[in-house]
């Protein structure tokens, strides 16, 4: 069925008042930067001009944030660091490149990669985000080629590749490092247990060594420990080096300090002829921290594997009017493209021939298809549903969906990852430990101790500064949280959710596909003149079975015949009949028009479509149906009239229904949080949520480009979580402190989110926030247990009373407590 019968009521609501090709060249919207119409929307109470009522309403309600340099920087979600540095890449005159970087794992990596990129001639600026493994580079194309950019930021353990072509699951050699390190570690520990630990208690070792034999034993332990430290521990050392280069101490620096301190102490002790060696501490710290990190990555990789079935929505080919398929980059402005029913529009343009219902939900969030006829604008990324059309490619030969992708990457690269709690502690703890070690050595020298004694005790303080438990505290808690979430059908895509989610003050919910099912369904049936509702649906479904329109599909699905026959429709054998969707013959003399369809069913012509279409076909519309028609339109539904024998027999209201779990989900989210609905649909479709007890505020008619800005302005009220499912939600998901995507949504949305609900269950949003809060609490508890060790061991080290065996046992005990606490917390 052609689209007018379903979509004419929603055209005005779905159309953005200004599209790229309809702007008059005036300045863009002050909220979303889209072109404004010839007469832009204004309000004396609000500065600026706006492209639509949705943007104006947001501007009226939410003040612009004051902590950013300008609109573009605010939309890029700079959290203050880049603003303070005065860097706004949007103001730089150069080309943008977005690279995926493997190897970033903390905020220190961001600063290091930015400095590496910006020291290259031809690079104008760079911003990186470990939360999204993305770096944005603005460069001069006359001095640098795009293909050279990955090489600039690769090295020091980082591997960069073009974002659009990057492997989402890069190879990880962590297992090989761990296995080889574990093999040599076992050899070291065997020698310690048999030959060294007994001597610390004045016991006889299994075999007594002295002279050459002791030197040989020490040399072997030294060699194996060197392999473990510099091969297995290379990622830790690299992270420590990066933190020093960036001037930001992190947990890697703390771990490396302890590992190198114990290694250096032992090397000096061998030279000085001492028997107390701390190579075992180096081995334990490196292997335990490496094992914890590998375990965390393995759990996260298994969890993200649940997303493998999500589909890609971007188009890489186009069909010319002749039928020839060509690569998208070969299409020029003005080319005529053919788009068939069910296909995605490859590029923005204008309809030249044909008319069809177009599903714009992917890029606008509008749930109802929109009627498109010659002269109308088409957005790239939308879907033609029921009839072929020919379009002329726009002047810029680009896609609205691709622009959303670019906006998403821009926001992600400018989104600094939240600094881990352990890294925050390291910024204070590392200088403190170094100062304490130096101070201890200095005091000992001043009080007459020998230089060797002062050096060894000073190094002992460094050795005990980072127990294994401190390195395990965060990885084990995160791994436990990721596992707990995966069991509930929630995939944690960015571990920063565990830092932000516990403090969420505002939850922003998209409407279509999030609060609603995201697909058309029959919501109500009004029959008159004694016609049974089932009979009305049966006749309408029989005719609609020959239409490809989404609303037609909803009527067919609700048809009692379809339910009884599994989608098949009864039909009479007649040479003039048209085959139904399942191959059966169901409708005689089927006709398709702009505003509806008709066909002969059971010997009578049945007309289905817009109420005016029924009138045009000579069917009267009873007064009793005027109220149901108006009521359907008032709540954003589409009234489909059905009639035969000269009279309209009823109206079927079709719309996007609310999720069954909506009330329960809002009840879980509401306590101590503000609930905001943010939708591209206009007021009638969003009005029902204004009246919902669980919703505090509704912003309707907001275009995709303005959603990210709206979310950023809401951040003045506190920490913001955004929940959405469509590509139009992706920039807003990335701009929020916490982004949660519904699993039934698009890949662009899942790429932008911190967590993905694979089961597409709205109630899981509350579970996601609860698991994040529990994980955050577990991290704090683990760090507390780790510092209990420090509270005992560091004073003993300063006093010169620390025994190597005590250090090993205490480390093992604190590590065990962290492991047990991580397991307990997630239960």
Q: Are the C-beta atoms of 213 and 196 separated by less than 8 Å?
A: no
Q: How far apart are CA 455 and CA 606, in angstroms?
A: 97
133 part of the active site: no
Give the strands of the sheet with 697-699, arranged side by side: 490-492, 755-757, 738-742, 719-724, 504-510, 674-678, 697-699
Q: How far apart are CA 386 and CA 318, in angstroms?
A: 18
Q: What CA–CA distances, in Å, run from 295 to 20, 252, 306, 486, 496?
A: 49, 17, 18, 15, 17
Q: How far apart are CA 458 and CA 433, in angstroms?
A: 10
412-423 per-residue burial string, b: 16 or more CB within 10 A, e: under 16:
bbbbbbbbbbbb
Q: Are the C-beta atoms of 662 and 656 separated by less than 8 Å?
A: no
Nearest to 734 by CA among 767, 707, 768, 766: 707
Q: How far apart are CA 343 and CA 352, in angstroms?
A: 17
Q: Are the C-beta atoms of 596 and 615 separated by less than 8 Å?
A: no
Q: How far apart are CA 84 and CA 87, in angstroms?
A: 8
Per-position DSSP letters for 727-741, written without gaps between them: GGGHHHHHHSSEEEE
Of residues 4, 359, 500, 510, which has the active-site annotation?
510
Kindly state the helix (H) or strand (E) to which residue 629 belongs, with its residue range: helix 626-634
Q: How far apart are CA 656 and CA 568, in angstroms?
A: 24
- Please report, to the nearest 10 degrees, the dihedral formed by the alpha carbons of residues 391, 396, 401, 403 taken in order: -170
3-state DSSP assignment of residue 431: helix
- φ and ψ at 626, to 5 degrees? -65, -40
Find all residues with CB under 8 Å of 618, minimum gap 6, and list them: 646
Q: How far apart are CA 478 and CA 729, in angstroms?
A: 27
Beta-carbon count within 10 A of 788 CB: 16
Q: Are the C-beta atoms of 290 and 236 separated by less than 8 Å?
A: yes
- Helix, strand and coil percent figures for the chain, each rounded to 5: 50, 20, 30
DSSP-H helix ranges across 414-490: 421-446, 451-463, 468-487
Q: What CA–CA distances, in Å, run from 40 to 24, 55, 62, 710?
A: 10, 11, 19, 19
Q: How far apart are CA 577 and CA 585, in angstroms?
A: 6
Per DSSP, 609 falls in state: E
Nearest to 510 by CA among 763, 735, 664, 704: 704
445-471 per-residue burial string, b: 16 or more CB within 10 A, e: under 16:
eeeebeeeebbbbbbbbbbbbbbbbbb
Mind telling me the catalytic residues?
Answer: 510
């Amino acid at each position: 069925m052609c689209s007018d019968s379903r979509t004419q009521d929603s055209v005005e609501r779905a159309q953005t008042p200004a599209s790229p090709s309809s702007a008059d060249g005036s300045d863009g919207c002050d909220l979303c930067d889209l072109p404004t119409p010839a007469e832009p929307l204004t309000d004396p109470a609000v500065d600026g001009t706006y492209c639509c009522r949705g943007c104006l309403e947001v501007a009226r309600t939410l003040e612009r944030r004051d902590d950013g340099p300008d609109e573009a920087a605010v939309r890029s979600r700079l959290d203050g660091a880049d603003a303070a540095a005065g860097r706004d890449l949007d103001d730089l005159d150069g080309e943008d490149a977005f690279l995926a970087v493997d190897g970033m794992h903390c905020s220190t990596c961001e600063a290091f990669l930015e400095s590496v990129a910006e020291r290259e001639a031809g690079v104008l600026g760079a911003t990186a985000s470990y939360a999204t493994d993305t770096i944005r580079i603005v460069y001069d194309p006359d001095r640098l080629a795009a293909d050279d950019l990955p090489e600039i930021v690769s090295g020091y353990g980082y591997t960069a590749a073009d974002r659009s072509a990057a492997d989402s699951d890069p190879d990880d050699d962590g297992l090989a490092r761990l296995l080889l390190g574990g093999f040599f570690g076992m050899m070291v520990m065997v020698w310690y247990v048999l030959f060294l630990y007994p001597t610390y208690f004045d016991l006889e070792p299994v075999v007594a060594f002295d002279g050459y034999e002791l030197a040989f034993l020490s040399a072997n332990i030294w060699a194996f420990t060197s392999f473990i430290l510099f091969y297995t521990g290379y990622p830790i050392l690299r992270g420590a080096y990066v933190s020093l280069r960036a001037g930001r101490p992190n947990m890697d620096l703390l771990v490396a300090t302890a590992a190198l301190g114990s290694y250096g102490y032992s090397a000096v002790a061998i030279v000085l002829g001492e028997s107390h060696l701390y190579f075992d501490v180096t081995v334990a710290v490196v292997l335990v921290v490496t094992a914890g990190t590998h375990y965390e990555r393995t759990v996260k990789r298994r969890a993200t594997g649940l997303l493998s079935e999500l589909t890609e929505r971007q188009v890489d080919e186009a069909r010319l009017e002749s039928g020839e398929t060509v690569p998208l980059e070969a299409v020029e402005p003005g080319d005529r493209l053919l788009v068939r029913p069910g296909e995605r529009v490859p590029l923005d343009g204008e309809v030249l021939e044909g008319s069809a219902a177009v599903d714009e939900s992917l890029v606008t969030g509008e749930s109802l298809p929109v009627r498109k006829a010659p002269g109308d604008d088409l957005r790239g990324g939308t879907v033609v549903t029921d009839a072929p059309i020919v379009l002329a490619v726009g002047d810029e030969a680009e896609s609205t969906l691709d622009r959303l992708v670019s906006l998403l990457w821009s926001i992600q690269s400018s989104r600094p990852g939240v600094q881990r709690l352990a890294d925050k502690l390291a910024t204070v703890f590392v200088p403190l430990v170094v100062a304490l070690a130096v101070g201890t050595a200095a005091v000992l020298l001043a009080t007459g101790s020998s230089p060797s004694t002062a050096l060894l005790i000073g190094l002992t303080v460094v050795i005990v500064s980072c127990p294994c438990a401190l390195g395990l505290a965060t990885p084990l808690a995160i791994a436990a949280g990721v596992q707990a979430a995966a069991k509930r059908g929630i995939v944690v895509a960015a571990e920063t959710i565990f830092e932000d989610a516990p403090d969420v003050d505002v939850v922003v919910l998209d409407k279509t596909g999030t609060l609603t099912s995201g697909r058309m369904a029959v919501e109500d049936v009004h029959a008159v003149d004694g016609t049974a509702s089932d009979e009305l649906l049966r006749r309408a479904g029989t005719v609609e079975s020959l239409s490809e329109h989404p609303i037609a599909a909803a009527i067919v699905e609700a048809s009692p015949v379809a339910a009884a026959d599994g989608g098949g429709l009864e039909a009479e054998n007649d040479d003039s009949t048209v085959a139904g969707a399942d191959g059966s013959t169901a409708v005689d003399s089927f006709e398709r028009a702009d505003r509806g369809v008709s066909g002969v069913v059971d010997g009578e012509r049945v007309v289905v479509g817009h109420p005016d279409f029924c009138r045009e076909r000579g069917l009267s519309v009873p007064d009793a149906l005027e109220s149901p028609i108006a009521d359907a339109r008032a709540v954003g539904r589409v009234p489909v009239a059905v009639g035969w024998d000269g009279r309209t027999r009823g109206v079927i209201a079709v719309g996007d229904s609310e999720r069954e779990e909506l009330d329960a989900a809002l009840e879980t989210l509401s306590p101590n949080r503000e609930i905001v609905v943010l939708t591209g649909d206009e007021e009638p479709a969003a009005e029902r949520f204004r009246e919902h007890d669980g919703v505090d505020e509704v912003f309707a008619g907001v275009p995709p480009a303005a959603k990210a800005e709206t979310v950023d302005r809401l951040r003045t009220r506190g920490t913001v979580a955004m929940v959405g499912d469509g590509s139009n939600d992706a920039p807003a998901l990335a701009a929020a402190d916490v982004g949660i995507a519904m699993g039934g949504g698009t890949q662009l949305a899942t790429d932008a989110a911190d967590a993905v609900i694979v089961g597409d269950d709205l109630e899981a949003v509350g579970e996601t926030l609860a698991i994040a809060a529990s994980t955050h609490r577990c991290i704090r508890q683990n760090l507390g247990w780790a510092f209990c060790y420090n509270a005992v061991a560091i004073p003993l080290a300063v006093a010169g009373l620390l025994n190597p065996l005590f250090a090993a046992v205490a480390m093992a005990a604190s590590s065990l407590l962290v492991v047990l606490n991580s397991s307990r917390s997630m239960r």
